């Protein structure tokens, strides 16, 4: 009996120690004080692929489902990546090779893929037939070679798209026609319907002066291969939109530049040196001179404060062991202000004033 009580005490101590270690990893001795924190699913690993655009947006949608249904899901990223490649193949060939073709993409690519194909849980589609690690280098090489053959022909063969899709099947595997999840039978479309995700609720915003504010424009970045339109707002309002979203319990897909030496994921922090100009004009200058480029998409899940400086809590897709914060990092407010290219949010996260200014119904 005494031994059992001792074992129970030791078990309780070990549990508390593990919990404390987890808090330490995320909050680093409580140096960062959370202001807002949106529930999100576990950190994933995009591995050797340029699919951050999908991992970040899927993570965002998983948080949307937690918010609306209090249900945590692990959705298949590769199911949507495969569909995006299919759409990208058509675009590349129909534009006779005069379009961007590679591993990159944007948040709206995920929404478009869902609209076309639906959703599956991770358990229904792993999307990898060639090994344990996702690696799309050879996939893109094989696809590009095949598509360039088609582009060199004066007349396309009838089966050109089927041949390209066969390459996708070789790497990703075939999508399931039906699958079972939590005791129910689904197709990808019926599974999407069961989640009650309103795809038209998701909008993208940016902040640049070479187009009018309060209007939409096609953002001129290479990975915007579908010519998606973004609402353009001044940077002060842009930052306020993020804060209002967090206050309302909505997270954000963040798209921006991570090429700065002060983006230090291994240390769990990204910041702009003191005295750096982070004005609207500086944003435009760094966009024009390519110091701010569309490098990486991540999931913005909260806001914190440390020593009087505000930071946004960012969930990355480089695995939990990529830093001591379990794969998260703290991005300073100035970094977000200067180096963000665009965001995706739920339009219901906008204030009534923003709905009016942007004429969003």
pTM, 2 dp? 0.90
Please say whether the beta carbons of 89 and 140 come within 8 A: no
| pLDDT the model gives residue 22 | 39
What pLDDT band is residue 361 in, cutting at 50, 70 and 90? confident
Domains of the chain: 29-358 (3.90.70.10)
Residues 38-80 pLDDT 10s? 999 999 999 999 999 999 999 999 999 999 999 999 999 999 9
| pLDDT the model gives residue 30 | 56
Using CA atoms, how far apart are residues 327 and 319, in angstroms rounded to an integer? Answer: 6
Over range 285-295, report the average pLDDT. Answer: 97
User: How many CA within 13 A on the CB side of residue 52?
Assistant: 21
Residues 133-181 pLDDT 10s? 999 999 999 999 999 999 998 898 889 999 999 999 999 999 999 999 9
pLDDT above 60 for 13: no
pLDDT above 90 for 18: no
- In 24-85, where do the E strands start and end? 33-37
Please say whether the beta carbons of 220 and 150 come within 8 A: no
Using CA atoms, how far apart are residues 45 and 319, in angstroms rounded to an integer? Answer: 4
pLDDT above 70 for 10: no
Going by the DSSP 8-state scheme, the letter that residue 216 receives in this structure is E
| pLDDT the model gives residue 202 | 98
Using CA atoms, how far apart are residues 117 and 277, in angstroms rounded to an integer? Answer: 44
What is the torsion angle, in degrees rounded to the nearest 10, for the CA atoms of residue 329, residue 72, residue 105 and residue 237?
-60
């Amino acid at each position: 009996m005494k031994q059992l009580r001792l074992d129970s005490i030791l078990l309780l101590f070990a549990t508390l120690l593990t919990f404390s270690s987890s808090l330490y990893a995320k909050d680093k001795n409580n140096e960062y004080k959370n202001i807002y924190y949106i529930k999100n699913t576990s950190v994933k690993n995009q591995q050797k692929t340029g699919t951050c655009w999908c991992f970040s947006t899927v993570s965002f949608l998983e948080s949307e489902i937690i918010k609306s249904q209090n249900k945590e899901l692990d959705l298949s990223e590769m199911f949507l990546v495969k569909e995006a490649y299919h759409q990208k193949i058509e675009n590349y060939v129909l534009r006779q090779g005069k379009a961007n073709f590679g591993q990159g993409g944007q948040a709206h690519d995920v929404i478009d893929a869902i609209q076309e194909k639906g959703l599956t849980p991770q358990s229904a589609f792993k999307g990898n037939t060639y090994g344990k690690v996702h690696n799309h280098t050879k996939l893109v090489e094989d696809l590009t070679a095949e598509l360039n053959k088609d582009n060199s022909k004066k007349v396309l063969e009838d089966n050109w798209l089927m041949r390209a899709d066969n390459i996708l099947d070789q790497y990703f595997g075939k999508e399931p026609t039906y699958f079972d999840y939590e005791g129910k039978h689904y197709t990808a479309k019926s599974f999407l319907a069961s989640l009650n995700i309103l795809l038209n609720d998701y909008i993208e915003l940016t902040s640049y002066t070479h187009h009018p504010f309060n209007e939409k424009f096609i953002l001129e970045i290479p990975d915007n291969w579908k010519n998606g339109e973004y609402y353009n707002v001044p940077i002060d309002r842009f930052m306020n939109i993020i804060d209002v979203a967090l206050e309302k319990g909505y997270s954000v897909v963040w798209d921006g530049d991570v090429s700065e030496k002060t983006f230090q994921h291994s240390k769990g922090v990204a910041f702009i040196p003191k005295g750096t100009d982070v004005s609207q004009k500086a944003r435009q200058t760094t966009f024009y001179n390519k110091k701010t480029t569309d490098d990486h998409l991540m999931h913005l899940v909260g806001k914190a404060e440390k020593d009087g400086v505000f930071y946004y809590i960012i969930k990355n897709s480089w695995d939990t062991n990529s830093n001591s914060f379990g794969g998260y990092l703290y991005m300073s407010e100035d970094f977000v202000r200067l180096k963000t290219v665009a965001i995706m949010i739920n339009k219901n996260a906008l204030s009534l004033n923003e709905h009016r200014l942007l004429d969003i119904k």
